[in-house]
Amino acid sequence: MTIPIRTTCAYCGVGCGISATPMGGRAVTIAGDAAHPANSGKLCSKGTHLGETVGLEGRLLHPMIGDKRASWDKALDLVAKRFRETIAKHGPDSVAFYVSGQLLTEDYYVANKLMKGFIGSANIDTNSRLCMSSAVAGHNRAFGEDVVPASYDDLDEADLIVLVGSNTAWCHPIVYQRIQAARAARGTKLVVVDPRRTESCEGADLHLALKPGSDVALMNGLLAWMDQAGLLDGDFLRDSVAAPDGFWEAIRAGHDLWTTAKACDLPPTELQQFYEMFAANPRTVTLFSQGINQSIRGTDQVNAIINVHLATGRIGKPGAAPFSITGQPNAMGGREVGGLATTLAAHMDFAPDNVARVGRFWAAPNVATKPGLKAVDLFRAIDEGRIKALWVMATNPAVSMPDAGRVREALEACPFVVVSDVMATTDTAVHAHVRLPAAAWGEKDGTVTNSDRTISRQRALLPLPGEAKPDWWIVTQVARRMGWRNAFAYDRPADIWREHARLTAYQNDGVRLLNLRAQATIGNEVYAAMEPFRWGGAPFAYGRFPTNDGKARLVPVTQMALQGPLRDWPMTLNTGRYRDQWHTMTRTGLSPKLARHREEPLVEIHPQDAVALGIADGDLARVSTAQGESLFRARISDGQRPGEVFTPIHWTDQQSSGGRTGLLPRPLVDPHSGQPGFKSTPVRVERIATEWKGFLILRGAEPVRVPCLWATRVTVPGGALYEVAGNGDPARLEACLPKGERVEAIDTTRGTRRVAIIREGKLAGVLIVTRSGQLPTRDWLIGQLAVEGVGASVLAARGPGSQPDKGAVVCVCFDIGLNQIVAAIRDQRLVDVPAIGAAIGAGTNCGSCRPALANILVQTSQETLHAAE
């Protein structure tokens, strides 16, 4: 019997423990690790389906120079040579690394050491700049160090949880389930602050659909209200908090309930309800993520939240904390090693004594003495030719940076681009001169730190495929070839881990809370068997902060003026995530189960706007900004505020001919953190007329480029499904079909064309397009990919006595669709989510769809009521 291996999920910052059993070949069985403190055995839909993503489809398995396979020696020599030459000619600041919160701590540590200690530049920035940097800057301003003052246990002990700019139900599902469990067990109140009504709002006590960007007004108003009600914590303010002159005067002026309600575009009664709930529940956790961080005033927004917690003493106590929840599996580990361009190493900045200390520790001759370029500036410097060699590791900036069109031009123009990735073709990798095959999740080995400072091991389950190598190995090989053999003489991740731990403890007389001294001398076996542990304990339990006087800081922040609609760009674009996709879909995109939740990128539009724009549900719509434009399928949703639309970040050139959100946002950033304001871009939305629509199903994983206006691809069992729409003669799409026996059915009145290709009795491909008719459901045809002996009858696109359309899949674990759920609720008079589970199974495995089921229950009972009226 194979023994399960304990590891950590590849995806979000919840950092769930996984118990994985290799089953031979590339097969792995995935279960939650009951002993892991982050999840106690639970996994969300993405974690549950990790096993579907460890295959080798699309993997980069060999080093590539241009389009040619190269040996590791040749590729590494070339990278080292080009970096060395560029530095010799143009200086250390002419090169850069752009790295990622998806690297392990050990990978991150050596990349940071190479750039900042040996190359002598701080031009290493990370996608955490797009993600957590406002939280980092806010923590530094308030606490003196980037320390998250919360743990998941606080969620169990809070009486009130406020989610601000966080769609926790979709993006941190296991934390959300923990919140729901606390609510069920002890009646914890839940308030959601988000301009959109997301599934996180299902069953919440209050949803404040505030005007985007008005969070500072909301929090300052709350602080003023608490002050006026005499509910500040005077003792804590006196002993543990410093306020600059004029702080309270500014809070007391102009933050009355009415003014705040107007600034936030909320009814004063709702605001009052929130403030009263806050007043009544001192055990408050305010959990925030990208609705706060990804703003051109993100750092101020973070401090507005922390100010309220400091002034009311809601920090350092059980169940009370401001809680910045992290996105990527190792966003925190990256911050700990100093992987941002604005930090040096181990929670040290570029103060001269830190530079000297780190230089001594690394025995590095050439430590960077000043911060490097932050991501947006870094790509601008590439575009302007100031950076001439770039190495991208574990991130896809051609998709995920703001104004991604410009980033693509910069990558194209850069004289030397190296990409380390697990996939052969990404929107970024197509611009690379050298591609280096990295070990993927399930193959790599090291540590990650989750949102609540818990460090866990990721462990290898599978052998390295092809010539893939771990990121730490790749970086150290280049460093050695650049001449720094001794400084990068590591044999294994444990060697790097110990050095990192030693640096956190080095000449650390208690000034830096990050101190992993106990780890600095552990043996390889202890490292191999490492149990999850949290560093820093309850960091501010004694009301002492890592500042020079031991006090935290209240930071004066004022609400920025919010821009009204512009003539050419009258609406506002908000961007974010879908429940079952991860970022640029390079891995979740491989899972047929996960593809079912959202099969196309949608632009969600309020019904009023849809009427004004003449857009119907299911139409194609073009979203344009001053930066670029993209196409999306329109979804009419009263969860949007009028004037605001939402698009997902996931689709790339690899899966779609439109639907690329990254082309749209402005490259405007927060002045303190440099984090882009992804959540608010002025846009124009228009309907795009198409003469026909349809879909294409193809056997096999190899992507094809479909020659039409709109084509998006998702993985299905045995192949891929493409949704298509366009103008002109759709017959040209038949070029995408494979060779084989062809059957067709044409209905000229509706302009419907059905063509199937059958090879050796198996369906190889099918194309169905129509000008005015209905399209059949995709499910039955997808199922035919697995059937032996299909014939021309496949063109009917349904089986004999076929089942009704099950509708969009809601529960991906059991493949249960919306129509099936609605029917069960109606026919069996189901009244709650557990009853749906008992009746048809939906929501009983990973539980990620439970918020959606709750929503369907509400909608269905409303519809039933209306029908009865």
Ligand X SMILES: Nc1nc2c(c(=O)[nH]1)N[C@H]1C(S)=C(S)[C@@H](COP(=O)(O)OP(=O)(O)OC[C@H]3O[C@@H](n4cnc5c(=O)[nH]c(N)nc54)[C@H](O)[C@@H]3O)O[C@H]1N2
Q: How far apart, in whole angstroms, are the C-alpha atoms of residue 336 and residue 453?
A: 10
DSSP state of 606: -
DSSP string, 208-269: E-PPTT-HHHHHHHHHHHHHHTT-S-HHHHHHHEE--TTHHHHHHSS-SHHHHHHHHT--HH
Determine contact, residues 299/558, Cβ cutoff 8 Å: no
149-183 burial, b at 16+ Cβ within 10 Å, e below that, comes to bbbbebbbbbbbbbbbbbbbbbbbbbbbbbbbebb
Q: Which of 491, 489, 492, 502 is nearest to 528 (CA)?
A: 492
Strands 762-770 and 602-605: unpaired
189 - beta bridge partners?
160
Choose the contact partner of 47 out of ligand SF4, Mo ion, ligand X, none; CB within 5 to 8 A by kind.
ligand SF4
Please say whether the beta carbons of 333 and 108 come within 8 A: yes
Contact region with ligand SF4 (CB under 6 A), list: 38-46, 117-125, 224-232, 719-727: 38-46
Please identify which residue in 17, 37, 213, 589 interacts with ligand X, judged by CB under 6 A: 213
Which residues are registered as beta bridge partners of 207? Answer: 192
Answer with the entry of ligand SF4, ligand X, Mo ion, none that 653 interacts with (C-beta below 5 to 8 A by kind).
none
How many CB atoms lie under 10 A from the CB of residue 234? 10
One-letter amino acid at 648 equals P
- Specify the stretch interacting with ligand X by CB under 6 A; choose among 124-132, 153-161, 594-602, 736-744: 124-132
- Asked whether position 212 contacts ligand X by CB under 6 A, the answer is yes
Query: Residue 100 binds which entry of ligand SF4, Mo ion, ligand X, none, with Cβ cut-offs from 5 to 8 Å by kind?
Result: ligand X
Site for ligand X in 336-395 (CB under 6 A): 393-395
**C-beta of 49 vs 553, nearer to ligand SF4:** 49
> What are the strands of the beta sheet with 416-421, ordered from one edge?
68-69, 64-65, 434-437, 416-421, 389-393, 95-99, 124-126
Stretch binding Mo ion (CB under 5 A), from 123-131, 232-240, 471-479, 708-716: 123-131
Q: Which is nearer to ligand X, 127 or 449 (CB)?
A: 127
Of 5, 20, 28, 43, the one binding ligand SF4 by CB under 6 A: 43
Q: How far is the CB of 485 from ligand SF4 (least distance, A)?
A: 38
Site for ligand SF4 in 546-605 (CB under 6 A): none
Scanning 129-137, 244-252, 408-416, 537-545 for contacts with Mo ion by CB under 5 A, the matching segment is 129-137
**473-512 residues near ligand X, rule: CB under 6 A:** none
Q: Does 562 bind ligand X (CB under 6 A)?
A: no
Radius of gyration for the chain, computed over Cα atoms and rounded to the nearest angstrom: 27
- Count of positions on this chain that bind ligand SF4 (CB under 6 A): 14
- DSSP labels, 509-531: SSS-S---GGGTT--HHHHHTPP
Select 15 or 674, whichever has its Cβ closest to ligand SF4.
Answer: 15
165 lines the binding site for Mo ion (CB under 5 A)? no
Nearer to Mo ion, 324 or 712 (CB): 324
Q: How far is the CB of 660 from ligand SF4 (least distance, A)?
A: 23
Contacts with ligand SF4, 1-30, as mask; x by CB under 6 A: --------x-xx-xxx--------------
Check residue 547 and report its DSSP letter: S
Residue 115, C-beta contacts closer than 8 angstroms, at least 6 positions apart: 96, 97, 121, 122, 123, 124, 368, 372
**Partner that binds at residue 134, options ligand X, ligand SF4, Mo ion, none, CB closer than 5 to 8 Å by kind:** none
Single out the residue of 574, 591, 625, 860 in contact with ligand X (rule: CB under 6 A): 574
What span, in angstroms and rounded, lies between the C-alpha atoms of 506 and 25? 44
Q: Which range touches ligand SF4 (CB under 6 A), out of 44-52, 549-557, 593-601, 796-804? A: 44-52
For strand 206-208 and strand 533-534, is the pairing parallel, antiparallel, or unpaired?
unpaired
Question: Which two structure tokens, joined as six digits, stand for 806?
Answer: 């099950």
Does 173 help bind ligand SF4 (rule: CB under 6 A)?
Answer: yes
Query: Among 93, 106, 199, 215, which residue interacts with ligand X (rule: CB under 6 A)?
Result: 215
Encode 428-475 in three state secondary structure: CHHHCCEEEEECCCCCCCEEEECCCCEEEEECCCCCCCCCCECHHHHH
Specify the DSSP class assigned to residue 113: I
Rounded CA-CA distance 109/99 in Å is 11
Residue window 16-55: x/- pattern of binding to ligand X, with contact defined by CB under 6 A: ----------------------------------------
Q: Which range, of 54-62, 172-180, 706-714, 765-773, touches ligand SF4 by CB under 6 A?
A: 172-180
Among all residues, whose Cβ is closest to ligand SF4? 47
16 binds, options ligand X, ligand SF4, Mo ion, none, Cβ within 5 to 8 A by partner type: ligand SF4
First-to-final CA distance of the chain: 61
Site for ligand X contains 198 (CB under 6 A):
yes
Which CB atom, from 172 or from 754, has the smaller least distance to ligand SF4?
A: 172
- Residue 528 CB coordination number (10 Å): 14
The smaller minimum CB distance to ligand X, of residues 418 and 513, is found at 418
Assess 287 for contact with ligand SF4 (CB under 6 A).
no
On the CB side of 416, how many CA atoms lie within 13 Å of its CA? 19
Q: E strand or H helix at 575, and its extent? A: strand 571-576
Q: Tell me the per-residue interface mask from 635 to 674 with ligand X, x by CB under 6 A, - otherwise.
A: --------------x-----------xx--x---------
Span from 171-179, 290-298, 488-496, 705-713 in contact with ligand SF4 (CB under 6 A): 171-179
Surface-to-core class of residue 534, CB atoms within 10 Å of its CB (0-12 exposed, 13-18 middle, 19+ buried): middle
Binding footprint of ligand X on the chain (CB under 6 A): 12, 100, 102, 127, 130-131, 164-167, 170-171, 193-196, 198, 212-213, 215, 289-291, 294, 327-328, 393-397, 399-400, 420-423, 426, 438, 440, 444, 471, 574-577, 579, 581-584, 586, 649, 661-662, 665, 678-679
Binding footprint of Mo ion on the chain (CB under 5 A): 131, 327
Binding footprint of ligand SF4 on the chain (CB under 6 A): 9, 11-12, 14-16, 39, 43-44, 46-47, 172-174
